[in-house]
Structure 1
Amino acid sequence: MKKWILAAAITAALSACANAPANVALPQGVSLIENVALAESGVGIPYKKYQLANGLTVILHQDHSDPLVHVDVTYHVGSARELPGRSGFAHLFEHMMFQGSEHVGDEQHFKTVTEAGGTLNGTTNTDRTNYFETVPSNQLEKMLWLESDRMGYFLPALTDNKFEVQRETVKNERAQRIDNQPYGRMNERFNQAFYPSGHQYSWPVIGWPEDLNRAQLDDVKHFFQRWYGPNNATLTIGGDFDEMQTLAWVNKYFGEIPRGPEVKPEAKTLVTLDKTRYISMEDRVHLPLLRMAFPTVYASHEDEAALDLLANIIGGGPTSLVYKNLVKDGYAVQAGVSHPCQELACQFSIYALANPARGGQLADVERRIRESIAEFEQRGVTDDDLQKVKVQFEANTIFGLQSVKGKVSTLALNQTFFGNPDMIAHDLKRYANVTKEDVMRVFNTYIKGKPSVVMSVVPQGQQQLIAHEDNFVAPAPRVAAEAVTGMVDVAKAGSSFDRSVMPSAQQAPVITAPSLWTDKLANGIEVMGTESDETPTVELLIYLNGGHRLTDVKQAGLAGLTAAMLNESSDKRSTEELAQALEMLGSSVSFGSSIYQSYIKVSALTSHLDETLAIVEEKLFHPGFKESDFARVQQQHLQSLQHMQSDPNYVADSQFDALLYGKDTALGVSEMGTPASVSQLTLDDVKAFYNKQFRAGNAQIVAVTNLSKAQLMPKLKGLAQWQGEATPLPSLAAMPALDAGTVYILDKPGAAQSVIKIGKRAMPYDATGEFFKSYLMNYPLGGAFNSRINLNLREDKGYTYGARSYFSGGSELGLFEASASVRSDVTAKALTEFAKEINAYQAEGMTDKELAFLRSSISQGQALDYETPYQKAGFMRKIQRYKLAADYTQQQADIIKAVDKDELNQLAKEKLNLDKMIVLIVGDRAKIEQEIKALGYQVKNLQL
């Protein structure tokens, strides 16, 4: 694709130029609306916009850098098109659209895309619903066939059974993402108070449970007929394709779909509040949370950019006033300000997680937030404030365009909401033109002295912590007489060809791994890189072997705490000064840790790499390790640990590891540590671990950049001064004997779902041996969406939002795990179905069709493996860490072609013996224990 060139200054003119349409014969009924290229100094996305006779907008963006295409169909319908008392239709319908259509069989959409080596999904928000696939470029026609069939021929395949199963799936999704999560119900409660009764944003996208129960099959049919016409959709295609052939396919598959009812834009009426509304709720949480928001404008409003800058100044990170007054002073564990915008409304949103160690009183938190707002009024706006926010916006724009999916999503969103696919140049100019006066004006207009909604979320039984007595109660919901209005008769779609014939794939693209180079710094640190000229950016990752595994188990959490301290001050500059320096560059530098590694992630515009690396070296070689920083970071870490105990998934993960690996090993204790281990750590412990971990001998570097090896290596010379030999890992303690066949229950009273984990220890990672072949073996069982386990528990039974199984391996050990979050009332039934699927697969193995499916899916999917800088970096890191051959992916491809069913089925017999596995369930014991015992399992209860 065209190489990106960043303008020298953000104030430079960045407008795209509309070229005259090329004199090319287009398919009948296809009109070229716009042909946009880029000036040499421009930043944006070149595209061509077409329209079919039925009103479908088609946007094409060619990018030949990788042999893949991304297809997105966005419908201008979300929950804002619903009516009071009829919520959840848009999201429920998104689920229904994956259940087959007139010419596509049940469950075939996922199977077809996955077998083609692709990925797919759909998402719904307040204002739009989109469906998308990323596939190897030879599969494009097949994707157009799939998308067109559900746009034009969905209703004949809609049945009561499909509707009921997907309604249950949505209920499970709600239970998993909202009802069973800390603060999960906060947003829907908040929006009831923030928006007027009956406002389109006053109900949740996923819907109220009673509204989902109220829905009828005919309501879903009418929703489709009302909103899913081609004239309310944008089809966007990006990637490696032939333009005229693609237009011909688009016209063939979509051109005969009749136009739907006309869709008018929703009115954009500014939200107002008569007074400050206080609301509160109790939840199963540890940290009290205060959320405050002021109504402002709507997306693309002339004041949006200035409000975004205002939010960043007041609460956008370590240099902000809210951070200084709440987090730095220890009154909050986290706090921030943002200005999220939707099509019809925006919120100036503030949140703070109170620190219980400082009392946790939300009235104190609110007071400090309001004092921060008042401090801004006195302080005003500085030149640095404006510059850093503008640079950040510019950099984020560039980083957001590192993938075809990112560019396609941007084009689709902008076309849907603004009628202009590429708003990048416009937005850069819009933010560049914001002045100090603009920021103060919007502050006075929308924030100063204005009413807001203030919500307190407190631990159960601790109402004394709320900020203020409630003074608002949401009115009783109304229920619209009809679920869908504006219906008109639309002709049934016909077809001039046999749509039941799935298009065959074109010739498979040649898949090549990134071209890699290797070198060493003067101190012996290995550097591996690849050149990518798609964006003028650098993604540099410094990995250090060790991480959590390098610590004594009694000091669990030390690796993460040390990394957190390295994100703080140096001995030359404060945390705030370093953050300010990075913000002014549009760069990020982040220290972190995982089980086997500590790491430094560096993202920078190429033009600012030298300055960014100077900050990396300052943080790495001259850490401040100040007592004040340590006290705050340690307290934040401890409170976060307590908070994580409210998350059933975190609890299940940590408890399952403890059962498999034992609490005497680093593998059996969370890398975050425990409250007991972290509370005993000292600053001296951090310094000692820093000296042991952050040595040149432990380090390796990977880089993805538009710079050549010859250009990059001299810029890394500062890291060549790094010294120190490699640090060996301590011996791994003996593994505990597994009490196989036992079901362990960890009680979470009132839990809406049960988290089920089934598994055992397994082999470490290898790229071409038993581990890799076991990955292949498991694919039909639980590795793909249309695997046996997921089809059974999700699609057939409606027990869960998703179920899977997998092998995971590190350098020493691995595991096999099958897992799902299921409705509490079907916990025992779900466990029975898991056992049935695993036992049958172990005994009988996969079928010939399943073998063919896994071969096709995994081998063709390699076309998607190297697109983004982080995908390339991950590929290189795997080669480094496991000392793999540079062509290991080709070796894997050869194995996929050659391995036979008998060998994989023999692995299933050896690796999937359920009698050697344990089961952990995190859920409401009072509701589930007796039914599990009735299945014949030995049950043991665990305590946190």
Structure 2
Amino acid sequence: MSLRKLFYCLLALSISIPALAQEKTGNFTVDFETFSLENGLQVILHQDKSDPVVAVALTVHVGSAREKEGRTGFAHLFEHLLFLESENLGKGGLDKLSARIGGSGANGSTSRDRTNYFQTVPSDALEKMIWAEADKLGFFINTVTEPVLAKEKQVVKNEKRQNYDNRPYGHTFYVIDRNLYPKGHPYHWQVIGSLEDLQNASLQDVKDFYNKWYVPNNVILTISGDFDKEQAKEWVHKYFDEIPKGPQIERLEKQMVSLEKTKKLYHEDNFAKLPELTLAWPSVYSYHEDTYALEILSNYMADGKNAPLYKKLVEEEKLSANVYMFNYTSELAGQLMVQVRAYDSKDLDSVQKAIQETFTNFEKNGIPEKDLKRIKAGLETSFYNSISSVLGKGFQLAQYQIFANDPNYINKEVEKLLAVTPEDVMRVYNKYIRGKNYVATSFVPKDQLELALENSEKAEVVEEKIIEGAEDEVNPNQQATYKKTPSNFDRSIEPPYHGKPELNIPDIWEMNLPSGMKVLGITNKEVPLVQFSLEIKGGQLLEKPAKAGISNMLAELMTKGTAKRTPAELEEAIELLGASIYINAETEKITISGNTLSKNYSETIELVKEILLEPRWDQKEFELIKQQTLSQLQQEKGDPNSIAQNEFKKLIYGEKNILSYNELGTPETVNNISLEDLQNYYEENLSPLASSFLVVGAIEKDRALAPVRAISANWPPKNIDFPEITEIRSPEKSKIYFYDVPGAKQSVFAFGSPALSATHEDFYPAEVMNYRLGGGGFASRLTQELREGKGYTYGIRSRFIDRSYIGPFMISSGVRTNITYEAAELVRDILKEYPSTFSQEDLDVTKSYMIKSNARRFETLGAKLNMLREINDYGYEYDFIKNRESKVEELNVLDIQDLARKYVNPEKMYYLIVGDAETQLEKLEDLGYGKPILLNPDNAEN
């Protein structure tokens, strides 16, 4: 875990006895209180009254490092199991509860060393959450039966296929960790585990794991947000006190590693289109004294235009579009890594040579003081960003308590980071990199072994074979019986709500400047930050098909220096302010957005002005961006998810429509674009008359406007002609389209049709209708039936994509390959039945979620900025959230059914599947929509 994530975490005081703590960083103070129950449960409370929400997190000190080889993946499997059912919440557990109370959605994550479960809910539901979390810890394991375990194994295996087996470079860390950490080391295997181990896990194995690790004395409960402290303590005692303490659990000893020799390994990657080199040296565990200098070393060597590795590999040698270096630390050990995805056909020996030459040069020159200052400057902003939500504070409190185990560590960490000197950076370089053995992996495209490092050995990678009927079907309706755990009160009674959170819509101020630019702002002083976005209407919409991708290239080039500053000088000026400035091209706009300390706002916007109005038009940077774009397009050819997105747009909008193009363009159009084309696009299509400046944070209106007025006064307005969007219609009859990726371990679905624009009066009602179909996460039918019922997928969702023109309704998922037909058939049937089966109960749950979840709408600066964006893009009223509450209340079951029939018609839909044609294509004709159309019959792009 990187220092940036950990450095500004908030540390709880020792919780062996009740304590009250205040930690200070600069002028910012965070109050929290900690105490322990007799059973060992550690509790951290942090009050934040700024929004009517509260985050509850349960963190268990167990991850994959506490597993045994041959029984891997258990910690992560439990993360899944604990959401399914508990004795008193019943089937669906937290997922059903979350939908009713307007929560953010029950979620969790697993690392090498801990598993956490978390959710943010309206403050009136805190007792319900404490009740639910206690049920997980003390009243859960009896609900895990053979059928439950069998189904969830399939879900986890689908997650592994989606995130590791069916994507480019997905096995990199598997190869690194198996060779960096010796057999028997807790980090030798992956957190996800192996398919074989998951399949072999018995019910008794699962219960033994739970009974050993899921005990109060191995758990931290964190409550952060708007709540009454004494009342919360009372509820914690009520629901957790009687859960028995488990056996004493000793901390694991640190297990740092060393290598006797350098290991070079290669793997032919079925999905990779570019060669990738990864180097890994043994490093240090989290909070080791060398962590701080190693983080700064990594940042200096690879991050940004000033980084030596970037200058050498990207700018001078033109070997790659980017280079990454990071210090990945965990509780017991760590690894220092350099990763480079080279351009097409580049030999990885040349990449390694360039890396070594850069290191040799560093040995002579070290890190300059100004770069050390620049790197440290961004940390203050990172700190405030890390605590911008109550959930973030809760995470960080638990993280420090588990891994630092030191009541004052945040003070020590600040001191140690700020004390890092150039000599420290050189010392850790010499200690961990110079002349040291490492693991090197070469992941190369199929049949391009000549690109791998010389003298590399074949890596051991276990790849699943596609076998029809390889996994048993699961009966989701099978009823399980189990003996309930006794309690001293009736836990089956759900606690009541307490109070009613008020929906406090932030005050919005507005100004129209003489140039025609509109400014919208919200003043909010919770943290000393400002976020902003200059939104310039146009983007891809103003492109010509022959020059598709030009707005993306312009956006990339605008950050590469100004008339006054070189690219490196511009980057340095931004970083010295502790700020970030990004430019993105989208389908309907180009945005210049950023994040800065309030005290540095004016200086940051001055740089925005310079970027916008004084472009550099650097030919060298333009050629570099063109090369990087072509490389990215090449990468996407091997990624089934990117293929699905790109092919789906072609089906929706038709190949002649500019909206059907990849926003990056195509290799042909990118090669057609010149620097003069970018200059012409800039002159013709960027105007304050089509622009709005959005700003939120710790800044008053007058101070926010001052530097924006300077942009407006120096930016000549011009009228822009926006093209008419051709009317887009659904197909008269559904058709199946298939894109072949030989050997794919999953089939990626993109099903849908043109629907409606975000400005249409039915758009929000349609979103309400979609909540129970596929927009409500675990509360949706698609998830319940395909994931929870059948185990076909790790995740599936449906949504209406918001655009000012007609956007599509889209269903997206990745399903295991050998049930492609069955999954597609089930999706079709759910869509067919949805209008006639949507019930009053479905409507009640939907209304409860849609209204109650509004309490979470404005918690962070990002959420407030997004609200301004919706108002600006679609002409919504300032109080559109309250208006939507009224609309939700007015909807009835018949309204929802009519909306479903109108906008979600499975008989007039494109069914796009990206997968293995050899094993899956033929069966799809049985869906009843004719013979599937193979989009790449000669497989020319593979």
Match of 1:109 in 2: 94
Pick the aligned partner of 1:741 from 734, 740, 758.
Answer: 734
Pick the aligned partner of 1:125 from 91, 108, 111.
Answer: 111
Q: CA offsets per residue over residues 212-267 of structure 1, 9 Å max, x none?
A: 11111111111100100011011011000000000000111111111112111111
**Residue 286 of structure 2 corresponds to residue 299 of structure 1:** yes
**Residue 824 of structure 2 corresponds to residue 839 of structure 1:** no
Match of 2:378 in 1: 392
Deviates most, 928-937 or 401-410: 928-937
**Residue 795 of structure 2 corresponds to residue 802 of structure 1:** yes
User: Does structure 2 retain, via aligned residues, the 8 Å contact 1:55–1:230?
Assistant: yes
Task: Report the alpha carbon displacement of residue 31 of structure 1 after superposing the two structures with TM.
Answer: 7.5
* Aligned counterparts, 1:42-57, within 5 A: 42-43=27-28, 45-57=30-42
Pick the aligned partner of 1:575 from 554, 564, 567.
Answer: 567
Match of 1:409 in 2: 395
User: Does structure 1 retain, via aligned residues, the 8 Å contact 2:729–2:754?
Assistant: no
Closer, same or farther: CA 903–16 of 1 in aligned 2, 3 Å: closer
Pick the aligned partner of 1:825 from 805, 818, 827.
Answer: 818
User: Does structure 2 retain, via aligned residues, the 8 Å contact 1:739–1:918?
Assistant: no
Match of 1:350 in 2: 338
Task: Report the alpha carbon displacement of residue 930 of structure 1 after superposing the two structures with TM.
Answer: 1.8
Residue aligned with 1:123, SS? strand
Match of 2:775 in 1: 783
Closer, same or farther: CA 238–711 of 1 in aligned 2, 3 Å: same
Match of 1:36 in 2: 21
**What's the C-alpha RMSD, in Å, of the aligned pairs?**
2.2
* Aligned counterparts, 1:658-807, within 5 A: 658-720=650-712, 721-733=714-726, 735=728, 738=731, 740-766=733-759, 769-784=761-776, 785-807=778-800
* Structure 1, gaps ≥5 residues long: 1-9, 22-29, 477-490
Question: Counterparts of 2:461 and 2:725 in 1: how far apart (Å)?
Answer: 60
Closer, same or farther: CA 259–16 of 1 in aligned 2, 3 Å: closer
**Residue 132 of structure 2 corresponds to residue 146 of structure 1:** yes
Residue aligned with 2:329, SS? coil
Residue aligned with 1:636, SS? helix
Task: Report the alpha carbon displacement of residue 316 of structure 1 after superposing the two structures with TM.
Answer: 2.1
Q: CA offsets per residue over residues 773-798 of structure 1, 9 Å max, x none?
A: 11111211112122111111111111
Task: Report the alpha carbon displacement of residue 307 of structure 1 after superposing the two structures with TM.
Answer: 0.9
Amino acid at match of 2:315: K
Pick the aligned partner of 1:910 from 902, 905, 910.
Answer: 902
* Aligned counterparts, 1:457-472, within 5 A: 457-471=443-457
Question: Counterparts of 2:536 and 2:787 in 1: how far apart (Å)?
Answer: 40
Match of 2:69 in 1: 84
User: Does structure 1 retain, via aligned residues, the 8 Å contact 2:137–2:214?
Assistant: yes
Task: Report the alpha carbon displacement of residue 328 of structure 1 after superposing the two structures with TM.
Answer: 1.3
Task: Report the alpha carbon displacement of residue 472 of structure 1 after superposing the two structures with TM.
Answer: 7.8
Amino acid at match of 2:98: V
Q: CA offsets per residue over residues 480-511 of structure 1, 9 Å max, x none?
A: xxxxxxxxxxx996422100111111122111
Amino acid at match of 2:223: I
Pick the aligned partner of 1:334 from 322, 329, 337.
Answer: 322
Task: Report the alpha carbon displacement of residue 910 of structure 1 after superposing the two structures with TM.
Answer: 2.2
Task: Report the alpha carbon displacement of residue 39 of structure 1 after superposing the two structures with TM.
Answer: 5.4
Closer, same or farther: CA 424–597 of 1 in aligned 2, 3 Å: farther
Q: CA offsets per residue over residues 702-751 of structure 1, 9 Å max, x none?
A: 10121111222223232122222241212334547736221111111100
Q: CA offsets per residue over residues 516-574 of structure 1, 9 Å max, x none?
A: 11113342311111111111111011001111111112221111110000011212211
Question: Counterparts of 2:410 and 2:268 in 1: how far apart (Å)?
Answer: 42
User: Does structure 1 retain, via aligned residues, the 8 Å contact 2:32–2:45?
Assistant: yes
User: Does structure 2 retain, via aligned residues, the 8 Å contact 1:411–1:422?
Assistant: no
Task: Report the alpha carbon displacement of residue 655 of structure 1 after superposing the two structures with TM.
Answer: 0.5
Match of 2:642 in 1: 650
Question: Counterparts of 2:409 and 2:331 in 1: how far apart (Å)?
Answer: 15
**Residue 183 of structure 2 corresponds to residue 197 of structure 1:** yes
Q: CA offsets per residue over residues 22-49 of structure 1, 9 Å max, x none?
A: xxxxxxxx98532112559444532111
**Residue 607 of structure 2 corresponds to residue 612 of structure 1:** no
Closer, same or farther: CA 602–362 of 1 in aligned 2, 3 Å: same
Residue aligned with 1:332, SS? coil
Task: Report the alpha carbon displacement of residue 766 of structure 1 after superposing the two structures with TM.
Answer: 2.9
Deviates most, 128-137 or 339-348: 339-348
Residue aligned with 2:554, SS? helix
User: Does structure 2 retain, via aligned residues, the 8 Å contact 1:305–1:430?
Assistant: yes
Task: Report the alpha carbon displacement of residue 297 of structure 1 after superposing the two structures with TM.
Answer: 1.3
**Residue 412 of structure 2 corresponds to residue 426 of structure 1:** yes
Closer, same or farther: CA 627–420 of 1 in aligned 2, 3 Å: same
Match of 2:870 in 1: 878
Residue aligned with 1:461, SS? coil
Task: Report the alpha carbon displacement of residue 303 of structure 1 after superposing the two structures with TM.
Answer: 0.8
Amino acid at match of 1:728: D
Task: Report the alpha carbon displacement of residue 106 of structure 1 after superposing the two structures with TM.
Answer: 1.1
Closer, same or farther: CA 278–16 of 1 in aligned 2, 3 Å: closer
When the two structures are aligned, how many residues end up with a matched partner? 906
Match of 2:427 in 1: 441
* Aligned counterparts, 1:283-298, within 5 A: 283=269, 284-298=271-285
Deviates most, 537-546 or 312-321: 312-321
Amino acid at match of 1:400: S
Question: Counterparts of 1:221 and 1:714 in 2: how far apart (Å)?
Answer: 63
Question: Counterparts of 2:291 and 2:750 in 1: how far apart (Å)?
Answer: 46
Deviates most, 701-710 or 38-47: 38-47
Give the fraction of aligned pairs with identical amino acids, expressed as a percent: 35
Closer, same or farther: CA 462–474 of 1 in aligned 2, 3 Å: closer
User: Does structure 1 retain, via aligned residues, the 8 Å contact 2:11–2:407?
Assistant: no
Amino acid at match of 1:304: T
Q: CA offsets per residue over residues 665-689 of structure 1, 9 Å max, x none?
A: 1221121211111111111111111
Pick the aligned partner of 1:869 from 861, 877, 885.
Answer: 861
Closer, same or farther: CA 475–750 of 1 in aligned 2, 3 Å: closer
**Residue 884 of structure 2 corresponds to residue 892 of structure 1:** yes
User: Does structure 2 retain, via aligned residues, the 8 Å contact 1:756–1:819?
Assistant: yes
Task: Report the alpha carbon displacement of residue 474 of structure 1 after superposing the two structures with TM.
Answer: 6.4
Pick the aligned partner of 1:135 from 121, 126, 130.
Answer: 121
**Residue 525 of structure 2 corresponds to residue 536 of structure 1:** no
User: Does structure 2 retain, via aligned residues, the 8 Å contact 1:275–1:452?
Assistant: yes
Residue aligned with 2:737, SS? strand
Task: Report the alpha carbon displacement of residue 83 of structure 1 after superposing the two structures with TM.
Answer: 0.7
User: Does structure 1 retain, via aligned residues, the 8 Å contact 2:266–2:458?
Assistant: no
**Residue 59 of structure 2 corresponds to residue 59 of structure 1:** no
Q: TM-score, normalised by structure 1?
A: 0.93
Closer, same or farther: CA 613–919 of 1 in aligned 2, 3 Å: same
Residue aligned with 2:759, SS? coil
User: Does structure 1 retain, via aligned residues, the 8 Å contact 2:9–2:386?
Assistant: no
Question: Counterparts of 2:461 and 2:790 in 1: how far apart (Å)?
Answer: 36
Residue aligned with 1:333, SS? coil
Question: Counterparts of 2:207 and 2:697 in 1: how far apart (Å)?
Answer: 49
Q: TM-score, normalised by structure 2?
A: 0.93
User: Does structure 2 retain, via aligned residues, the 8 Å contact 1:256–1:494?
Assistant: no
User: Does structure 1 retain, via aligned residues, the 8 Å contact 2:728–2:806?
Assistant: no
Closer, same or farther: CA 192–16 of 1 in aligned 2, 3 Å: closer
* Structure 2, gaps ≥5 residues long: 463-482
Match of 2:302 in 1: 315
Match of 1:270 in 2: 256
Amino acid at match of 1:189: V
Question: Counterparts of 2:491 and 2:928 in 1: how far apart (Å)?
Answer: 51
Closer, same or farther: CA 39–735 of 1 in aligned 2, 3 Å: closer
